[in-house]
Amino acid sequence: MLEPHVRAILEAIGEDPSREGLLKTPARVARAYEVLTSGYGQDPKAIINGALFVEDYSEMILCRDIDFFSLCEHHLLPFFGKAQVAYIPKHHIIGLSKLARLVEVFARRLQVQERMTTQIASTLMEELDALGVGVVLKAEHLCMRMRGVEKQNSVVVTSAMLGSFRTRQATRQEFMTLLQNNRG
């Protein structure tokens, strides 16, 4: 139960949890955290395995600008941005909506952006048995921006390249070119 702990935080910061505006806050915060950390209860591998299609296609597939919202595990403050997820299939392709679901399952846990990037890439690589996977995450971290540390407007970019995305310069280049095209 999260509610008594939220009440304790309110008291610790000098608030009065019994004043009208805060009466329902512990319950609301508890419900919000349930959603924001719902990724712990979900198996990322099951999401992929339930949506594989055999397809004779061996070109790059890119799902762009997947919005994500996560919580940094150091401050429990949000970091959020967009994920770019690409892969080159070997035997199987996956429904595009599942790529967004995969990002969401990892985002809805306490995270560091670097680990989240690697988790998305390696889960896809393993479960799809793909020729290669490339993942780029761009995010703003409120723990940096709100607390005024480092550069106020800095965006953190992380990437994970596996298989042919790591070994073939041409593949990496194609990925980067696709990411830059049609930027509106």
Kindly list the residues in this chain that would bind Zn ion in the complex (CB under 5 A): 72, 74-75, 143
Beta bridge partners of 54: 92
Question: Minimum distance from CB of 135 to Zn ion (Å)?
Answer: 21
Q: Which residues of 64-85 are buried (b: 16+ CB within 10 A; e: fewer)?
A: eebebebbbeeeeebbebebbb
Active-site hit among 74, 114, 126, 150: 74
Is 74 a known active-site residue? yes
Minimal distance in Å, beta carbon 55 to Zn ion?
40
- Asked about 63 being catalytic, the answer comes back as no
Buried b (16+ CB within 10 A) or exposed e, 127-146: bbebbbbbbbbbbebebbbe
Task: Pick between residue 85 and residue 139 the one whose CB is nearest to Zn ion.
Answer: 139
Nearest residue to Zn ion by CB is: 143
Catalytic hit among 73, 114, 126, 150: 73
* Tokens at 57, concatenated: 């296609």
Q: What is the DSSP string of 70-100?
A: EEETTT--EEEEEEEEEEE-SSEEE-HHHHH
Catalytic residue among 15, 42, 75, 140: 75
CB of 110 to Zn ion, least distance (A): 10
Residue 5 bears catalytic tag = no
To the query of whether residue 141 is one of the catalytic residues in this protein, the response is yes
Q: Which is nearer to Zn ion, 110 or 176 (CB)?
A: 110
Catalytically active residues, by annotation: 72-75, 113, 141, 143
